[in-house]
Amino acid sequence: MRAMTLEEVGGPLVLRHHEVPLPGPREVRLRVEACGVCRTDLHLVDGELPDLALPIVPGHEVVGWVECVGSDVDELIPGQRVGVPWLGSTCGSCRYCRSGRENLCDAPEFTGYTRPGGFASHLVARADFCIPLGQADPATVAPLLCAGLIGWRALARVDRARTIGVYGFGAAAHLMTQIARHQGRRVLAFTRPGDLAAQDFARDHGVVWAGGSDMAAPEPLDAAIIFAPAGELVPQALRSVRKGGRVVCGGIHMSDIPSMPYRWLWEERELVSVANLTRADARAFFAEACRASVHATTRHYHLEDANQALDDLRHGRFQGAAVLVP
Ligand SMILES: [Zn+2]
Ligand SMILES: [Zn+2]
């Protein structure tokens, strides 16, 4: 098998060839068809995630078909197409697993971080954490497995907010906006200052306003969702939401949040984060994505060009999501 492997912090990823792995009990081996590239992969390469054990193969938006199954696998059969998301395994017994919050499990494993990921031709995954997928185009579905899901969970956290500001209009935001509009909400997009291409891209997705994140919101927001990993957006977003409004941080890593006057939080404004996703989120999201006819805008790269894809993501050189195809 081929795998783009991170061997030292800062990269680059290196192409390595290995024996095709055998699935253990309760595991399946996939032939990878496509794997999305997520900002978390950049944080990983940059050494911004704790306890990184190298070498590791990144990639947690994996679509593939089941090539063979290990022992005790009932739910999947060879030939079936599945998705493998970030949450690769949980303990099933901690307080969070027992209370429907497996995304916060005390002993989780993450695809492409603590387990091998999908920047590869093959992947072994826990069968019960694979998401059965239909016949949709693998490269178009891949970004839904993290960008789509995190957008979904972030949107759930804003409850009934009608007017939502989104900071950072990349893979997650363009998918989330489609769902939000389907639900009858209004979305305002805040991009990097001067990024007119991203603002046009946001308007193409039906946002009611698009501008730079250095601009004041043109109307009070019921809620804001921050996908960009920039801590200075937190005070800005808090100032843009009305009384009782909520600001949701959707990223796994963010630069430090600057200090700010308490009055920007006062009047029952709330600041929360979302972390990982549950399998229940995945089921609910894929059903809603189907109803809303969610479509990912993608740029395709060969697996061996993973470093180029990461670099293009870092510098905002494409709209939507990058996808590696082995
Ligand atoms: Zn991700
Ligand atoms: Zn647990």
Ligand in closest contact with the CA of 96:
2
Q: What is the mean pLDDT of residues 235-256?
A: 95
Decide: helix, strand or coil at residue 249: strand
Ligand in closest contact with the CA of 109:
2
CA of 91 from ligand 2 middle (Å) equals 4
Ligand in closest contact with the CA of 87:
1
HSE-CB at 171 with a 13 A cutoff on CA atoms is 28
CA of 145 from ligand 1 middle (Å) equals 8
HSE-CB at 36 with a 13 A cutoff on CA atoms is 31
Could you please report the per-residue DSSP string of 133-181? --SS-HHHHGGGGTHHHHHHHHHHHTTT-SEEEEES-SHHHHHHHHHHH
CA of 174 from ligand 1 middle (Å) equals 14
Beta-bridged to residue 32, according to DSSP, are 64
CA of 218 from ligand 2 middle (Å) equals 43
CA of 192 from ligand 1 middle (Å) equals 20
pLDDT > 90: what percent of the chain? 98
Please write the tens of the pLDDT for every residue from 208-237: 999 999 999 999 999 999 999 999 999 999
Distance CA 306, CA 324 (A): 7
CA of 308 from ligand 2 middle (Å) equals 36
CA of 315 from ligand 2 middle (Å) equals 36
Q: What is the mean pLDDT of residues 251-257?
A: 92
Q: What is the mean pLDDT of residues 267-290?
A: 94
- The predicted pLDDT at position 134 comes to 83
Ligand in closest contact with the CA of 59:
1
Residue 136 has pLDDT above 90, yes or no: no
Provide the residues around ligand 2 (an ion) whose CB is within 5 A. Answer: 90-91, 94, 97, 105
CA of 102 from ligand 2 middle (Å) equals 6
Q: What is the largest CA-CA distance in the chain?
A: 59
Identify the burial level of 256 via C-beta atoms within 10 angstroms of its C-beta, where 0-12 means exposed, 13-18 middle and 19 or more buried: exposed
CA of 150 from ligand 1 middle (Å) equals 8
- The predicted pLDDT at position 263 comes to 97
CA of 111 from ligand 1 middle (Å) equals 10
CA of 87 from ligand 1 middle (Å) equals 10
Residue 89 has pLDDT above 90, yes or no: yes
CA of 92 from ligand 1 middle (Å) equals 22
Q: What is the mean pLDDT of residues 186-201?
A: 96
Which residue did the predictor score with more confidence, 299 or 11?
Answer: 299
Ligand in closest contact with the CA of 94:
2
- The predicted pLDDT at position 252 comes to 86
- The predicted pLDDT at position 185 comes to 98
Ligand in closest contact with the CA of 108:
2
Ligand in closest contact with the CA of 151:
1
Report the mean per-residue pLDDT for the chain: 96
Ligand in closest contact with the CA of 98:
2
Q: What is the mean pLDDT of residues 14-32?
A: 97
Distance CA 97, CA 90 (A): 7
User: Which CATH code of 3.90.550.10, 2.40.160.40, 3.40.50.720, 3.40.50.300 fits the domain covering 148-273?
Assistant: 3.40.50.720
Degrees, nearest 5: CA angle 166-264-190: 20
All structural domains of the chain with their residue ranges: 2-144+296-325, 148-273
Confidence of residue 135 (pLDDT cuts 50, 70, 90): confident
The continuous run of DSSP H or E covering 16 comes out as strand 14-17
Could you please report the per-residue DSSP string of 292-318? TT----EEEEEGGGHHHHHHHHHTT-S
Distance CA 237, CA 217 (A): 9
Residue 239 has pLDDT above 90, yes or no: yes
Q: What fold characterizes domain 2-144+296-325?
A: Quinone Oxidoreductase; Chain A, domain 1 (3.90.180)
Q: What is the mean pLDDT of residues 110-115?
A: 97
Please write the tens of the pLDDT for every residue from 37-85: 999 999 999 999 999 999 999 999 999 999 999 999 999 999 999 999 9
- The predicted pLDDT at position 123 comes to 98
User: Using the 8-state DSSP alphabet, how is residue 60 labeled?
Assistant: -
Distance CA 152, CA 288 (A): 9
CA of 228 from ligand 2 middle (Å) equals 28
Confidence of residue 262 (pLDDT cuts 50, 70, 90): very high
CA of 26 from ligand 1 middle (Å) equals 24
